[in-house]
Amino acid sequence: MTIAKTAEGTKLTLALEGSLDTNTAPQLEETIANSIDGVTEMVLDLAKTEYLSSAGLRVILATQKQMSKVGSLTITNVNETIMEVFEVTGFTDILTIQ
């Protein structure tokens, strides 16, 4: 998985490409941990994300909890397959998805 970071003031956009699974979730977790200071608006762009496992869901949930204390997390460009995962797991009720 590759992660492209774009920072604009207090907004951070992370564009994920590839699979977010057990092998790559720690990479996203580390990127977020190293980038979150001063961020009040985070966007996860999933336009090029092909697969999302429970490990990826865990990182997204932890990020949602962390960002809700200081600002917001928005998930964008979700394909049908990943949207189905969000719907089945109930994540559509707790995430802001555009």
Supply the pTM of this predicted model: 0.95
Return the pLDDT at 9.
95
Ranges of each domain in the chain: 2-97
The strand pair at 2-8 and 11-20 is best described as antiparallel
**N residues, the chain:** 98
How far apart CA 9 and CA 25 sit, in angstroms, is 26
Protein fold of 2-97: Transcription Regulator spoIIAA (3.30.750)
Instruction: Specify whether the CB–CB gap between 42 and 71 falls below 8 A.
Output: yes
Query: Which amino acid makes up residue 18?
Result: G
DSSP E strands: which ranges in 10-90?
11-20, 41-52, 72-76
Return the pLDDT at 2.
97
Ordered per-residue pLDDT tens for the chain, 98 residues: 999 999 999 999 999 999 999 999 999 999 999 999 999 999 999 999 999 999 999 999 999 999 999 999 999 999 999 999 999 999 999 999 99
Return the pLDDT at 69.
96
Return the pLDDT at 41.
98
Instruction: Specify whether the CB–CB gap between 49 and 19 falls below 8 A.
Output: yes
